[in-house]
Structure 1
Amino acid sequence: MDFHLLELFVRSATFELDNREIYRTARPYCVYLNGRLVMSNRTENVFSLYHLLPGTGYTVLLESGGEQRECVFRTPDESILLDVRRFGAVGDGVTPSTAAVQAAVLSCPAGGTVYFPRGIFLTGPLFLKSGITLYLEEGAVLLGETDREKYPLLPGVTLSANENDEYYLGTWEGNPLTSYASLLTGIEVNNVNITGQGTIDANAQNGDWWVQAKVKRGAWRPRVLFLCRCCNIRVQGVTFRNSYAWTIHPYFSKQIRLLDSSILNYELSPNTDGIDPESCEDVQIIGVRISVGDDCIAIKSGKRFMGEKQKMPSAGIIVRNCLLERGHGGVVIGSEVSAGVQDVRVSQCLLNNTDRGMRIKTRRGRGSSCILDNILFENVHMDGVLTPFVINMFYFCDPDGHSKYVWEKSPMPVSDETPRVGRLLCRDVTCVNCSVAGAFFYGLPEMPIACVELENILISFRPDAQKGFPAMMDQIEMTEKMGLFACNVKQLRLKRVKIEGYEGRRLITDAVEQLDEEE
């Protein structure tokens, strides 16, 4: 059983098994650190080691079924370790510690670590600094203040001194709008690590953040972690809970690594997406468990204003060995994607009880730069996903979402308002206990989906399937056990696609220019 060192930190390290198994391996394994047993009967494909010392050599041995593999590494040096308690932070869950923790962060030199011991540290928004590590010990909790008056504002748009350029900070659902600062906010910071076995709990359920969630009150809701124009940010091990809105939101950022962490929000909490990279490049989400009240992972690139102004698509996104549970969508592209999304690869992921699995959503008005292309979804297992595969180019979002302009099924003129969906490839995917539809692909009549390829796909329906809408769009009917639906698709390629337990026709196609099917 081979494995490799995925990411190395000053006091921790993350590893990944080299296999094609989905999220877990069938062969349990044990892990030894310098000859000492530290894990037994482990099955997850990704694991992490903690309590390491800086500047120290280690040997990790993985043993399974009599086979052994070894990895030798040395942790980086650390300039200093600063305990937040020495700055006045009190871990009793009652005493406000915002100023003390912020002082520790600002005092930490490059290469240093801000250390959170076991305890509950009540805090308002904190601002990150380049070149440092936050290390949360097991049992350490950063607990968000419930009073929104303690959250500074991030202005959406500020005119620069030359009265021409603009400076963007606050953002809400793809537009530059004033929002509250997040519990952890990074503005143009680089080389930051957030690691450990602790918890970052926004505590939103005990405030008024979910009351009239779609109404702006003071400013738009914050995130738990917001990264604005940042580079080389790594998150490892930490659990994020009870978010105000989207949980982790990298924004116009590069080289983001989210590893072996958990994101847990209440099932009915509004807009509490797990991870939403927006206009980001080189993002890796590996070994993460997400169970939230909205989309688990949603890849975005802004609405029309930011998409055309900044012209930065999201590109180079890797999602691997993740457990995605209960959200509206497992891995979603959209709907705020006016600058486009390219080169997304999802593999070895387990999706349980999400409404949709692989989900692309856009609409007229996103613009001609909204090009969604080269999306690969492979070696994935879904269980209890209502509709595993969805492309919806009539998504009814925004104030005009239910207007005729959005829902009209007759061709409209192609213009600079027209989005495009290129190639989607799904292969080696098993979907069991589905309910609503196996696949639902609905392109625009004036701009059909370019190419959908399904290869080595098994879809089966649960006997007691309930009716539902396969996509969030107007003028469609509720369905149950519908096989594969495709409308306005240039090329539909099906290779070894098996659908079991469907009702009615296996394939329902309309305006599909080329259909190639191979048993």
Structure 2
Amino acid sequence: HGPNNDGCDPEYSKNVHITNCLFNTGDDCIAIKSGRNEDGRRVNIPSENIVVENCEMKDGHGGVVMGSEISAGVRNVYVRNCKMDSPNLDRVIRIKTNTLRGGFVDGVYVKDVEVGAVKEAVLKVNTHYGIYANQEGEFMPSIKNIYLKNVTVENGGEYGVLIKGREKAIVENVNLEDVIIKGVEKPESVEYSENVNYINTVINDKRM
């Protein structure tokens, strides 16, 4: 539970299977990466075809996270049959980048996930990520094709869906199907994104 101690960080990685693991960390439980800034663009190996299943996440900044070091991109991440539950788990699914990191995320598929408590958001997409000095550059990120299906959340915290895209980098094709989220302060906060597609989804007992 010290600082900056992710549970598992696949980087420049292909065909990864993470299964039957328990994560209880002071930072992200699983953070998928593909290089930071110029190093990532030089190596230019996306992380792709990553399966996370039958895992349990307790404390952490995020359950399954992409970023922030994704300058070579991430595609095809599958999360299924997982349980997440802790008042100290900040987000269930998290994507974080900025215009110094750039990169892309294309294809995140989340299915059959049970969530007890989560603090900030069930899904958070942030293209303005920064805890350091100026994080603005010339590399616009691309984030698209995110699917959550059959996800149940008992205590959703602040937001069901929290998206902060950019005027020049609209977040595309976010989908929630058969999702039930209870106990959130605000169902969604969406900036510079296509409308989220809600199919048979209920947040705070209200069909979206």
TM-score category (smaller protein): over 0.9
Matched, 1:326 2:48: no
2:17 alignment partner, SS class = strand
2:61 alignment partner AA: H
Q: Aligned match of 1:366 in 101, 107, 132? A: 101
Matched length: 205
Give the corresponding residue for 2:173. 451
2:185 alignment partner AA: K
**Contact 1:365/1:419 (<8 A) preserved:** no
Whole-Å Cα distance in 2 between the matches of residues 444 and 304 of structure 1?
19
Give the corresponding residue for 2:156. 434
Whole-Å Cα distance in 2 between the matches of residues 491 and 344 of structure 1?
22
Matched, 1:499 2:203: yes
Give the corresponding residue for 1:292. 25
Matches within 5 A, 1:179-218: none
2:171 alignment partner AA: I
Q: Aligned match of 1:399 in 133, 136, 145? A: 133
Whole-Å Cα distance in 2 between the matches of residues 329 and 351 of structure 1?
10
Whole-Å Cα distance in 2 between the matches of residues 453 and 282 of structure 1?
24
Shift of 1:434: 2.0
Whole-Å Cα distance in 1 between the matches of residues 156 and 108 of structure 2?
22
Deviations 1:211-270 (A, max 9, x none): xxxxxxxxxxxxxxxxxxxxxxxxxxxxxxxxxxxxxxxxxxxxxxxxxxxxxxx3xx11
2:146 alignment partner, SS class = strand
1:274 alignment partner, SS class = coil
1:430 alignment partner AA: T
2:129 alignment partner AA: Y
> Identity of counterpart residues, as a percentage?
32
Gaps (5+ residues) in structure 2? none
2:79 alignment partner, SS class = strand
Deviations 1:179-232 (A, max 9, x none): xxxxxxxxxxxxxxxxxxxxxxxxxxxxxxxxxxxxxxxxxxxxxxxxxxxxxx
Matched, 1:485 2:189: yes
CA root-mean-square deviation: 1.7
2:201 alignment partner, SS class = strand
Shift of 1:394: 0.8
Shift of 1:491: 4.4
Shift of 1:497: 1.2
Matched, 1:342 2:75: yes
Matches within 5 A, 1:246-395: 266=1, 269-353=2-86, 354-367=89-102, 370-386=103-119, 387-395=121-129
2:10 alignment partner, SS class = coil
- Deviating beyond 4 angstroms after TM superposition, the runs of 4 or more aligned structure 1 residues are none
Shift of 1:481: 0.6
2:48 alignment partner, SS class = strand
* TM value normalised by structure 2: 0.93
Whole-Å Cα distance in 2 between the matches of residues 423 and 434 of structure 1?
22
**Contact 1:343/1:373 (<8 A) preserved:** yes
Deviations 1:422-452 (A, max 9, x none): 1101110001112211111111111100110
Deviations 1:68-94 (A, max 9, x none): xxxxxxxxxxxxxxxxxxxxxxxxxxx
**Contact 1:453/1:494 (<8 A) preserved:** yes
Determine which structure has more spread, i.e. the larger CA radius of gyration: 1
Shift of 1:456: 0.5
Gaps (5+ residues) in structure 1? 1-265, 407-414, 462-479, 507-517
Shift of 1:490: 2.4
2:194 alignment partner, SS class = strand
Whole-Å Cα distance in 1 between the matches of residues 96 and 115 of structure 2?
20
